């Protein structure tokens, strides 16, 4: 399983060369293949070419939602309420119908017997098999929850009074392997493993390799392509 790649093509190629996946191996990314980094289109095409499984991250979801609003605008003349930054707009305009078909095909989660791969996390109330639109968005975006287990918006979160979502997760979907939140090193909890280690911010691109009962973290250092707006969480 690969952490958030965010267009870091060079690092992704190096990481795969260290792991050297065989044809029978399953390669899965926890989402956010694209955006922020310099080679999003190339990473997206590489994932398609190598048949790498990807769960939908909030950045893939952003482009999907923008696309749907653009279609609605063409049908009805209604203004698109979303705005893309210049780099995002350039990426959007470079995407082909095949690229969009791939993005739309991305599942929200992938389940195995003992683990589930998704982008961000779950709430105590989350039912992955019966998600409405709001709950779907939270699975791609949750970080903190309040003392009642309710979703907390990022700009309103406070580690002093809120809980990291995995602290309240009870293991009902097995071990959840996720990304979304960049850590300095992979975060391992009782029932969850976070493998986004901030490749696009110049820390490292990480993968979790599982072989039977054995698991190993593999990392490559990365260049900084974007600036963090907040300090690294001490979790």
pLDDT score of 235: 59
* pLDDT tens digits, one per residue of 75-130: 999 999 999 999 999 999 999 999 999 999 999 999 999 999 999 999 999 999 99
Measured between alpha carbons, how far is 225 from 227 in angstroms, rounded to an integer?
A: 7
Q: Residue 74: is its pLDDT beyond 70? A: yes
Give this prediction's pTM: 0.94
pLDDT tens-place string over residues 216-235: 999 999 999 999 877 777 55
Which region among 5-9, 14-18, 104-108, 154-158 has the lowest average model confidence (pLDDT)? 154-158
Please check the confidence at residue 47 and state whether its pLDDT lies above 90. Answer: yes
Residue in 130, 146, 126, 106 with CA at minimum distance from that of residue 192: 126
Q: What is the pLDDT of residue 33?
A: 97
Q: How far is CA 72 from CA 79, 134, 180, in A?
A: 8, 20, 29
Mean pLDDT score of the chain, rounded to an integer? Answer: 95
What residue spans define the domains of the chain? 9-221
pLDDT of residue 234: 59
* Angle in degrees, 0-180, between the axes of helices 9-19 and 40-49, rounded to the nearest 10: 30
The CATH fold assigned to 9-221 is: Purple Acid Phosphatase; chain A, domain 2 (3.60.21)
User: What is the model's pLDDT at position 228?
Assistant: 85
Instruction: Tell the burial category of 162 from Cβ atoms under 10 Å away from its Cβ (0-12, 13-18, 19+).
Output: middle
Question: Residue 132 belongs to what H/E stretch?
Answer: none
| Range scoring the smallest mean pLDDT among 42-46, 154-158, 192-196 | 154-158
User: How far apart (Å, rounded) are the C-alpha atoms in residues 23 and 155?
Assistant: 43
Reported as a single tens digit per residue, the pLDDT across 205-215 is 999 999 988 99
């Amino acid at each position: 399983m690969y952490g958030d790649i965010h267009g870091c093509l060079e690092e992704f190629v190096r990481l795969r060369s260290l792991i050297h996946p065989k044809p029978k191996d399953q390669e899965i990314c926890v989402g956010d293949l694209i955006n922020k980094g310099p080679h999003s289109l190339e990473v997206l095409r590489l994932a398609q070419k190598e048949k790498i499984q990807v769960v939908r991250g909030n950045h893939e979801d952003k482009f999907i939602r923008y696309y749907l609003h653009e279609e609605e605008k063409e049908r009805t003349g209604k203004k698109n309420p979303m705005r893309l930054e210049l780099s995002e707009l350039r990426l959007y305009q470079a995407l082909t119908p095949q690229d969009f078909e791939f993005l739309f095909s991305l599942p929200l989660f992938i389940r195995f017997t003992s683990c589930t791969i998704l982008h961000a996390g779950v709430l105590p109330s989350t039912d992955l098999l019966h998600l409405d639109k709001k709950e779907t968005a939270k699975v791609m975006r949750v970080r903190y929850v309040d003392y009642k287990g309710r979703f907390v918006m990022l700009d309103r979160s406070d580690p002093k009074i809120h809980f990291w979502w995995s602290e309240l997760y009870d293991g009902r979907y097995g071990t959840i392997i996720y990304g979304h939140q960049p850590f300095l090193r992979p975060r391992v909890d009782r029932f969850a493993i976070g493998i986004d280690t901030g490749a696009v911010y110049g820390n490292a691109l990480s993968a979790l390799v599982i072989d039977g009962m054995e698991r190993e973290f593999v990392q490559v250092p990365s260049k900084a392509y974007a600036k963090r707006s907040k300090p690294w969480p001490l979790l």
